[in-house]
A and B are shown apart, each in its own frame.
Chain A
Amino acid sequence: MENKKFMTLTRRRSIKGFFFIVPWLIGFLWFYLRSLMLTVQFSVSELTVSPGGGYTLDFVGLDNFIYAFRAHGTFKQILTTSIGDMVVDVPLITFFSLLIAMLLNREFKGRTLVRAIFFLPVILNSDAIVGAMGIARGLMVGGLSNTSSEILDAAATTGVSVDYYIQMFTSLGIPTIFIQYVMGAVGRISDIINASGVQIIVFLAALQSIPGSMYEVAKIEGATAYETFWKVTFPMVMPHIITVVVYTVVDSFIDSEVVDLAYATAFDQNNYGLSSVFSLVSTLVTCLILGLTVYFIQKRTFYYN
């Protein structure tokens, strides 16, 4: 009781508030921070599981890292493909979901149904479901496949001459890399749609939070729809693009082959040290990419509040 007299209201409130986050804090320290430290420790040591259930660590320095980069057969290749896929997919998913969110933001008949359909991929995202859906999709939609050459094969049966269009664009002087990128994007459209459920939701929420008065002003000033998009909508959703990019990068890394490799190395070959190296390196690369993208986007971001 005596003690309470000396505490101000804010002080008391802050202590009470701290109680709200105590469970999380314990969990974070116990499961996340400790685990991160342990991962670092595992990666520089050789771990042997002792029969009693415990384990012993022998410090081996950077041996695991050197092995992963110099001697391991597939790690470098898998890492680079995963990163490559990510670099290709993230901008596609971001812009696609922004486009869809803008489509869904308008009032039109049957909007509820369309929204329900568009959020379906969020509900149906499971390894097993996605795998089986891939097979069903191949049989249903037919021409949708991974590489541009496969698209060509499939398109030949439908009577649409894709070759002709490619020729046309090439003769216009558009670089081949760009055409292949677009072709690849079109071919993987179903993957992109399936990966952009949450992102569409984020952008929808962002679009809803733009005050209507801004559009009114733009209209009064005589801005066209195109100008309104670039001068009002885009800057206003810019902060949320960071959220979306972060989410997409993390999400694509969780599904990537590096995770499978790390998992297999740990639990099939019992090589825990090497597995930690794989996880650690891929995490560091992810964080690096995230940091760079966020930095570059943030430089151009305009904060309304």
Chain B
Amino acid sequence: MSEEMTLEQKNKEETIDQVDVIAEGSGFLSKMDKNKKSQITNGVKGFVLGVFRWIIIIGIAYVIIGPVLGMISRSFFSDADNYNPMVYMIPESPTLERFKVAASTLNYKSTVINSLIYSLSLMVIQVLMCSMAGYGFARYNFPLKKLFFACVVLMIVVPTHTIMLPLYMTFSNFDVFGIISLINGKPLNLLSSAVPMYIMTFFSCGLRSGLYIYIFTQFFRGLPKEIEEAAFVDGCGVWYTYFRIMLRNATPAAITVAIFSLVWQYNDTFYARLFNISDSLVISKRIVGLQLTIGNVYKIYDPNILELYMDAGIILMMIPLVVIYILLQKQFVEGVERSGIVG
């Protein structure tokens, strides 16, 4: 019985196939025509869209790059060039005077090295501590986890300026459960040094740490659980698993966080102002007062000329960032895409 059934079915299928073939054959010519037409219209459409896209891209790229180019060219202007209306972009008598003065006023070499060390060390702490918290949130279950994660979101949402006063107070009379005043007689004043920043970053409450914890949590959630299970079966401890296996796998997220943290720390003036961190440590703080300092020291009273010095100073400040960005650009963009920065 069953054999007969299958035979019948086979026959049926074959006839259906034949019908299909015939149907295709009859409509073959008209289909060719249609394909050609739609190909041409598609080609034109694609071309127009492509042109349109490039117009937008080039326009926006110009808006972004334009000021940077303008700043670079203006930093080479001599006084005469600045007032010559015929000079646009290319200076007639280029001068390195602006860079020399700006560099000496900024005390460039030592300031840049100091602030790079400062931001890089904070970056390492940020990546370590925030990835730890993120890993904890993503992989372990403990009581009140949801509430704690809501607190992370709260850290992102609450603007830092809300808590700036208490922070200032906390660090001007720094004390841990009265231990320090017991030893020292009075609480420590940690302001005008970089210590508060390090303490806060170490407890992952530094500059935008909430965002970084969020990024790491989302990323670790996306990693397969099997990696850890294999490690566990092979006898890895929790910390070994985290440092040697999970952190390695989180490279894209780590690079994203690292670049964000480095750049924002390097550019930050809020905490630098709040904790009154010495401006030989934080170049961004020094650059704010650059125009005034140069005006006072070199007796230059023309604001237009002072702007040229400012341009040169900012270019000097940006150079390390741009170099790092160019070096890590590819990893950054790819890392951002894979790091699950989104929810």
Contacts and interface: CB of A to CB of B under 8 A. Distances in A.
A193 B269 contact: no
Interface residues of A, number: 96
B142 A266 contact: no
Interface string A183-202: 00000011001100000011
A126 B284 contact: yes
Interface stretch (A70-78, A161-169, A173-181, A281-289): A281-289
A135 B330 CA distance: 31
Contact of A27 (B61, B205, B311): B205
A239 B333 contact: no
Contacts of B213: 24
A123 B161 contact: no
B163 A35 contact: yes
Per DSSP, chain A at the interface is helix
A114 interface: yes
B321 A123 contact: yes
Contacts of A221: none
Nearest to B256: A201
Nearest to B139: A17
Contact of B64 (A14, A118, A239): A118
A60 interface: no
Contacts of B169: 38, 55
Interface of A: 10, 13-21, 23-28, 30-36, 38-39, 42, 52-55, 100, 103, 106, 108, 112, 114-129, 132-137, 139-141, 144, 189-190, 193-194, 201-202, 204-206, 208-209, 239-240, 242-243, 246-247, 250, 253-254, 258-259, 262-263, 266, 272, 275-276, 279-280, 282-283, 286-287, 290
Interface of B: 50, 53, 56-57, 60-61, 63-71, 74, 129-130, 132-133, 135-137, 139-143, 148, 151-152, 154-170, 172-173, 186-187, 189, 200, 202-205, 209, 213, 238, 242, 260, 263-264, 266-270, 273, 284, 287-288, 307, 310-311, 314, 317-318, 321-322, 325-326, 329-330, 332-333, 336-343
Q: Nearest 7 A-B pairs (CB), nearest first?
A: A17-B140, A27-B203, A20-B136, A126-B267, A35-B163, A140-B70, A35-B166
